[in-house]
A = this chain, B = another copy of it.
Amino acid sequence: MSTTSTIAVPPAKCLHCKVRKLALFQPLMETEIHAAQKYKSGNQLLPPGSVIYHQGHPNENVYTLFSGWVYLYKDLDEKRRQILDFALPGDLLGFHGDMEGGTHPHSAQSLTSVSLCVFPSTNLLRLFRKHPKLGIRLTWMTASDNALAHEHLASLGRRSARDRIAHLLLELFYRLRQRQPEPTEDNSIDFPVTQEMIGDAVGLTAIHVNRTLMELRRAGWIEIKSKTLTIPDPDALGELIGFNRHTITPRAMI
């Protein structure tokens, strides 16, 4: 259950991959998957806190996150950073429009142990010429990321601290939910996110995040214990803060 203990590794054949249905290569036919697999250059296993790619460095690979949590962020200076998004299993990392020769506009770091499937970005152009469906799918995923970023903008720009935080929790709750075949009965998810990260994601101090979480907890809306988040009644909480479940598009289904 925990993402931090023994770490899951992708199977030898993409065909049998359990996150494929969420991931970039879902719409391919069986024979096409074998072709696509040739483009994969390997797996990567990383401990918590590893930098997967760094702001400003050349963009050489794109990754499909197979297991674990990753966060994407921008450093403004020594003291300030903005977390742009959290990536969950099945999500694509490191694609920024340049098929080759570009640099990363932000950084990505693992919060837990993670395993990644690596695809050299130099090959993408060829791959998409051969399989237009893949290109369309990539476009769709990029547009979904956009919709999510816009949702986050509305949060940071126009919502109170409580609503921003609750929004983030609900978003992650539902996103994680929709990729679990058998969700837990008590509405709890694995949640390896520190309060400081929450603050960096929603534009608040860790201290104020703490106070606000306390408030949500005392009101019975949420519970956080040893890296587990429980939201007893997510729909009611969503109602309270104006969370639109519909904005969480199934990130990776065409």
Contacts and interface: CB of A to CB of B under 8 A. Distances in A.
Contacts of A106: 150
Interface size class of A (residues with CB under 8 A): 35 or more
This chain: copies in complex: 2
Nearest to A147: B105
Interface stretch (A6-14, A22-30, A75-83, A206-214): A75-83
Contact of A153 (B136, B140, B156, B159): B156
Interface in A160-194: none
A84 B153 contact: yes
A140 B140 CA distance: 12
A236 interface: no
Interface in A97-121: 97-99, 105-106
Contacts of A42: none
B135 A77 contact: no
B203 A156 contact: yes
Interface stretch (A46-54, A125-133, A220-228): A125-133
Given A136-B128, A156-B157, A146 B145 contact: yes
Dominant secondary structure of chain A at its interface with chain B: helix
Contacts of A154: 74, 76, 82, 84
Nearest to A152: B153
B158 A76 contact: yes
Contact of A135 (B105, B132, B153): B132
Given A146-B146, A153-B82, A99 B242 contact: no
A152 B152 CA distance: 10
Contacts of A144: 97
A35 interface: no
A149 interface: yes
A142 interface: yes
A86 interface: no
A2 interface: no
A93 B203 CA distance: 28
Interface of A: 74, 76-77, 80-82, 84, 95-99, 105-106, 125, 128-129, 132, 135-136, 138-147, 149-150, 152-154, 156-159, 200-203, 242, 247
Across the A-B interface, the 9 shortest Cβ-Cβ residue pairs:
A97-B143, A157-B203, A149-B149, A156-B156, A82-B154, A97-B140, A139-B139, A82-B157, A142-B142
